[in-house]
Chain A
Amino acid sequence: MALLKVDNLHKHFGGLHAVNGVSFEVQKGTIKAVIGPNGAGKTTLFNLICGALPADSGTVAFAGRPILGMKPYQIAAAGISRTFQNIKMFPGMTALENVMVGLHTKSQAGFWAGMLHLPASRREEKKIRTRAYELLELLEITQFADIEARSLAFGQQRAVEFARALASDPPLLLLDEPAAGLNIYETAEVARLICKIQQQGITVLLVEHDMSLVMDISDEIVVLSFGQHIAEGTPREIQHNQEVIQIYLGE
């Protein structure tokens, strides 16, 4: 079954047709990559799926349910989690606290409970903390728990961002250029982490420029160019697709 189904999606920025009639599906449990030259509309596509930008037309269905038009927080609560091309750690918060924010949808305490520190909310706080720590364990970064996230190295921030995005137990994880700015060792590490995430039963849709990473870990690849869907297939098929080769050579 397709977990995510994008159909004929359009987005204009003034005269620029940033996403031009894109359609594709992401099968449950797979890793799918979106590739394409700079400015192809990959990040815009993610922003449309997450509700961070309103689409002009088209549909997006998640687990059979249309989600276009929902607010970003509703889409997140519905089970789509994301990371950002330019890592967005919450400033002034430790790695652990960042992950604790990720557990927002998994907890309830509101204003009253927060102001009064009711026993129930204290218990919940403890649970949030324990779970956040487990997530740091999963991403193998417990040693950074109490360090301000923004002061960590890029690769470590990526791992924190993964942990934060995974905290809501999302069926679908969107990763925007997870290897951007990382050296080859860190990139290999990120590739390993993504596979580990997939093994947890999580479906992954990622945008990435690092071709060896994409070819290594993806089950399927979609190619965008100037907002348009150019090709789709397995890594092997994409590697041998004439049109794709042309786009990348002509760049």
Chain B
Amino acid sequence: MTTKKLSALALLVAFMVGVQLTTHVTGTSYYLTQLTMTIYSCLLIIGLCLVMGYAGQISLGHAGFFAIGGYISAALTTFNFRPALEGGSSWVELLNTTGLFTSRTSMFGEPLLSVQPWIACLLAVSLTALIALLIGIPVLKLKGHYLAMATLGFGIIIFRIVLAMEIFGEADGISDVPGFTLLPGLTVNGNLDNRVVNYYIAAAFLISGFALLLNLIDSRVGRALRAIHGAEDAADAMGIDTARYKLYTFVLSAVFAAVAGVLLTHYSGGISPSDAGVMKSVRYVAIVAIGGMASLWGALTMGGLLNFLSLRGLFGSYDDAVFGAILIIIMLFAPEGVLRLKLWCKLKGHKEEG
């Protein structure tokens, strides 16, 4: 890593710590819950930024990937296998001996036997990666914005599936999702006395994910991606397997979305169909666009700001409409993102000349 990148990351860490200390000093620790949720959304958004800004593709399915992560993990960690075990199901017995399951009591005091969060998480993320691969392989061979169409269809299907299936709780979603113990003593859950720790767990995930992506765009692969985005036929002529690079980028960003889904679900203790809705995907796309497409820092800043404001209820019942409007305005007036507004650049240019 270059010193420039390191110092920027150090600044980010300092900012995150500063925010927590401020809430502590001002007695506003109740903000931490919404901040933690915002951080997980940002994890998804920086992944989407890689697809939009560097692979030059639009995904309208990222809420779907988030939902697959969250729902699979939630369903596996809440589904009770105890009746099946007591009923003498030999495969549940077999799985039980492998340490796949864990026992706990539900919030109604009922004994539960459900899948270990780590296992559930790995399954959820692998399944997401597999689905992204299956969507991406045929679609990303084509030149053009076919990924937007395909992922839009995919997003709608996921939304209908979680609404329709009993195992996903239909319209109510899944609740009573247990905490996810990452390491002994480090549990992702929504307990109030665990709020500060969880803020830092989320921050650690975001900062590591962000560092990985910053590294990536500043590498041979990142150069290839920028080349593809800038002039695809010239990238082809340089021997870059453009379809494969776009595919891997797409899968990587789906994995970021799934990880965010898993962690946020265990943090909030549940997930509901609104998290899987296509409007959520539109919101993510709007945020990346306003951040400047090919700017991880822009996506992070805007993701942090807008998600937090939205969670604070600033946009009221116009929440979705606000993000739709943002998308339209950005496309019309500042396709480079607000941080690089044309007007602003012009002013800057004049200053440099003068």
Question: Could you list which residues of chain A lie within 8 angstroms of chain B, going by C-beta atoms?
Answer: 50, 52, 71-73, 76-77, 81-82, 84, 88-93, 97, 100-102, 104-105, 107-111, 113-117, 121, 124-125, 128, 164-165, 167-168
Contact = CB atoms under 8 A, between A and B. Distances in A.
Given A76-B239, A168-B239, A114 B227 contact: no
A113 B230 CA distance: 23
Contact of A84 (B213, B234, B239): B234
Contacts of A108: 220
A82 B237 contact: yes
B220 A121 contact: yes
Q: Which 10 A-B pairs have the closest CB atoms?
A: A114-B219, A76-B239, A105-B239, A72-B236, A88-B234, A114-B221, A115-B212, A90-B230, A91-B230, A77-B239
Interface centre among B224, B230, B233, B237 (most CB of A within 10 A): B237
Contacts of B216: 111, 114-115
15 contacts: A50-B237, A71-B241, A84-B233, A89-B234, A90-B230, A93-B230, A104-B220, A104-B223, A105-B239, A107-B220, A111-B248, A117-B219, A125-B219, A128-B220, A168-B239
B223 A101 contact: yes
Interface centre among A88, A90, A102, A110, by most chain B C-beta atoms within 10 angstroms, is A90
Contacts of B234: 84, 88-90
Nearest to A174: B237
Contacts of B183: none
Interface of B: 1, 212-213, 215-216, 219-224, 226-227, 230-231, 233-242, 248, 252, 294
Given A84-B234, A115-B216, 5 more contacts: A76-B238, A90-B226, A104-B240, A105-B238, A121-B219
A159 to B, nearest CB: 16
Nearest to A106: B239
A194 B213 CA distance: 40
A149 B98 CA distance: 59
A128 B221 CA distance: 13
A125 B222 CA distance: 12
Given A101-B235, A115-B216, A168-B238, A93 B221 contact: no
Given A89-B231, A92-B230, A109 B219 contact: yes
A70 B213 CA distance: 32
Given A115-B212, A116-B212, A97 B237 contact: no
Contact of B238 (A52, A104, A115): A104
Chain A CB within 10 A, most for which of B1, B220, B242: B220
A107 B219 CA distance: 11
Contacts of A111: 216, 221, 248, 252
A179 B208 CA distance: 48
Contacts of B227: 90, 93, 101
Contact of A102 (B219, B233, B238, B294): B238
Contacts of A128: 220
B238 A114 contact: no
Contact of B239 (A73, A97, A109): A73
Nearest to A97: B223
B38 to A, nearest CB: 24
Contacts of A114: 215-216, 219-222
Contacts of B240: 73, 101, 104
Contact of B237 (A81, A91, A100): A81
Contacts of B239: 73, 76-77, 104-105, 168
Given A90-B231, A91-B231, A92-B230, A113 B219 contact: yes
A246 B252 CA distance: 59
B236 A124 contact: no
Contacts of A90: 226-227, 230-231, 234-235
A100 B241 CA distance: 16
A136 B215 CA distance: 26
A71 B238 CA distance: 12
A165 to B, nearest CB: 8
A110 B231 CA distance: 21
A82 B223 CA distance: 19
A117 B9 CA distance: 15
Nearest to A170: B239
A73 B235 CA distance: 8
Given A88-B231, A101-B227, A110 B237 contact: no
Contacts of A76: 236-239
Contacts of B252: 111
A117 B236 contact: no
Chain B CB within 10 A, most for which of A101, A108, A124, A168? A101
Contacts of B248: 111
A19 to B, nearest CB: 18
